[in-house]
Amino acid sequence: MGKKLTYTPNTRIRSALRQLFLRSRERAACLKASGNCCEACGVKASKAKGREVSVYVHHKDGICNWEEIFEVIRKNLLCPPEQMQALCKECHEKEHEVKK
C-alpha cells in the first residue's frame, strides 16, 4: 500500500464536487426545463431495455478554472490542521456568534 498523503488530493475534491453536482437542484432544474430531452437533437432520455439513452447536463462556458476552485477550497475549507480547532457544539456556536 502506498504512502498516505498529508492532504486531500485534487482528484478526491473533484470527485466530491462531481457527486454534489449530480445531486444538485440546479442540474435537476436544467433537465426538467429541457423535458429530459437533448437540446441539440431532441432525443428523450430513456431507460427502456435496448433503447437506453442518457441525457447529460453540459456547462456552456465549461469549467476551466479547476486550479482556482482547488485553491479556494484548500484555503477556506481544507486548510492545515494548525488553522483549525475541535470544539463542542455550544462552543462552536459561540465562536460563530462572536464573529458576527
List the pLDDT tens digit at each of the 100 positions of the chain. Answer: 678 888 899 999 999 999 999 999 999 999 999 999 999 999 999 999 999 999 999 999 988 899 999 999 999 999 999 999 999 999 999 998 887 7
Residue 77 lies in a domain: yes
Does the pTM surpass 0.75? The reply is yes
Full domain range(s) for residue 42 = 10-99
Residue 38 lies in a domain: yes
Does residue 4 fall inside a structural domain? no
- Cα–Cα dist 61/5, whole Å: 33
Does 41 fall in a domain? yes
Q: What is the 3-state secondary structure (H, E, C) of 44-62?
A: ECECCCCCCECCCCCCCCC
The cell numbers describing 53, all together, are 439513452
Q: How many domains does the chain have?
A: 1
- Pairwise CA distance, residues 63 & 51, whole Å: 31
> What are the phi and psi torsion angles at 14 (to 5°)?
-60, -40
